[in-house]
Amino acid sequence: MQRLIYTLKQDQVDLDLIMVIRTVLASCKEIAFRVGQGALGDVLGSTLDENIQGETQKKLDVIANQLIKNMLLTESNVAAIASEEEDDIVAGNANGKYIIAFDPLDGSSNIDINGQIGTIFTIFPAVEGLAQDDPRQFQQKGRNQLAAGYVLYGPSTMLMLTTGKGTRCFTLDKTHGGFLLTDEQVSVPAETQEFSINMANARFWYEPTSRYIDDLLLGETGVRKKRFNMRWNAAMVGDIHRVLSRGGIFMYPSDNRDPNKPAKLRLLYEAYPMAMLVENAGGRASNGTADILDLELETLHQRVPVIMGSSKEVEISTSYYT
């Protein structure tokens, strides 16, 4: 089976970018080890702190953030990093070619129940002429991403990666420590009978979301004339991994639950990288009215509604919002 580095070289990825991806993955391997230790490694439970989003930080959120941050800041090619767990941009090397954003531990509520969790990351070119920690560094369109991926710490540790030439899946060989290519072209079926949304939020949804989900729930007897099944992992990495593996539609729409938080998922750390992976696997990713990759980040921790997955289903779903 092919090693990651060989695949990236075959894809003619810039060697400096390969080095940065390898550094991210080196920290993910360490996180995978810590996750595997569980209670024995004292990684379960919460800290007393809150992150910039006002969410309680889990011990593993902090450990994962520190590991990735420390490793990336030793890389000469890294100009700046942004993390879901950091208030501001952290400056790296003044001559670095790349800026990297990451959600160190997605699906925090699954940590203590031994459920699916993961690390999501994205790499953009650094903007020349701007200080490394200038907020405008990250104010780029999703289409500018050079690479995006996630590492899923499930029963096996898997890497889903794109550098813009398709989406590839690798599995961590825990005996030898390398990521090996296990699916060279991930492909999301255009049609699906599986949807993924947190139904507990139904009373807060806006009318188009309610109408679309109602139509799915009517099954064979409704306008869709087929039965839909539902899955919800409470970790976007887990839900998107299922969508990339067998198709489906994943939604976290805006709602009126909290006027200060019209949407839940973060554009930079979650929506951008997942959208790039899904599009490169033949799927679609939208905020309801525009492709996520065409949006331009305005603020570092900006949130965005998300609808992504099987292309035909995303098309049907977004037609409810126009």
Q: Is 234 among the residues that bind ligand AFP (CB under 6 A)?
A: yes
Q: Which is nearer to ligand AFP, 172 or 240 (CB)?
A: 240
Token digits of residue 254: 């805006």
Q: How far is the CB of 270 from ligand AFP (least distance, A)?
A: 6
User: Which residues on adjacent β-strands are paired with residue 249?
Assistant: 195, 309
Q: Which of 14, 30, 55, 173 binds ligand AFP (CB under 6 A)?
A: 55
Does 294 show up as a binding residue in the annotation?
A: no
> Taking contact as CB under 6 A, which single stretch among the options 32-40, 141-149, 221-229, 233-241 is the one that binds ligand AFP?
233-241
Residue 232: partners with Cβ closer than 8 Å, 6 or more residues away: 196, 197, 198, 199, 239
Q: Is 279 among the residues that bind ligand AFP (CB under 6 A)?
A: no
> Taking contact as CB under 6 A, which single stretch among the options 131-139, 141-149, 229-237, 307-315 is the one that binds ligand AFP?
229-237
Q: Cα–Cα distance between 71 and 66 in angstroms, integer?
A: 8
Q: Which of 80, 126, 235, 292 binds ligand AFP (CB under 6 A)?
A: 235
Q: Is 283 among the residues that bind ligand AFP (CB under 6 A)?
A: no
Q: Is 142 among the residues that bind ligand AFP (CB under 6 A)?
A: no
> Taking contact as CB under 6 A, which single stretch among the options 140-148, 212-220, 230-238, 276-284 is the one that binds ligand AFP?
230-238
* CB of 104 closer than 8 Å to CB of 68: yes
Number of residues in contact with ligand AFP, rule: CB under 6 A? Answer: 11
User: Which residues on adjacent β-strands are paired with residue 159?
Assistant: 151, 170
Q: Which residue has 């067998």 as its token pair?
A: 246
Q: Which of 76, 198, 210, 302 binds ligand AFP (CB under 6 A)?
A: 198
> Taking contact as CB under 6 A, which single stretch among the options 24-32, 103-111, 222-230, 274-282 is the one that binds ligand AFP?
103-111
Q: Which is nearer to ligand AFP, 108 or 122 (CB)?
A: 108
Per-residue b/e over 155-171, b at no fewer than 16 CB within 10 Å? eebbbbbbbeeebbbbb
Q: Which of 64, 71, 101, 265 binds ligand AFP (CB under 6 A)?
A: 265
Token digits of residue 83: 């993390």
Q: Is 112 among the residues that bind ligand AFP (CB under 6 A)?
A: no
| Amino acid letter for position 203 | R
Residue 48: Cβ-neighbour burial (10 angstroms; 0-12, 13-18, 19+): exposed
Q: Is 107 among the residues that bind ligand AFP (CB under 6 A)?
A: yes
Does 106 show up as a binding residue in the annotation?
A: yes
**Strand pairing class (249-252; 117-125):** unpaired
Q: Is 106 among the residues that bind ligand AFP (CB under 6 A)?
A: yes
Does 84 show up as a binding residue in the annotation?
A: yes
> Taking contact as CB under 6 A, which single stretch among the options 75-83, 151-159, 220-228, 231-239 is the one that binds ligand AFP?
231-239
Binding site as annotated, residues for Mg(2+) = 84, 103, 105-106, 270
Binding site as annotated, residues for substrate = 106-109, 198, 264
Residues at the contact surface with ligand AFP, assessed by CB under 6 A: 55, 106-108, 198, 234-236, 252, 264-265
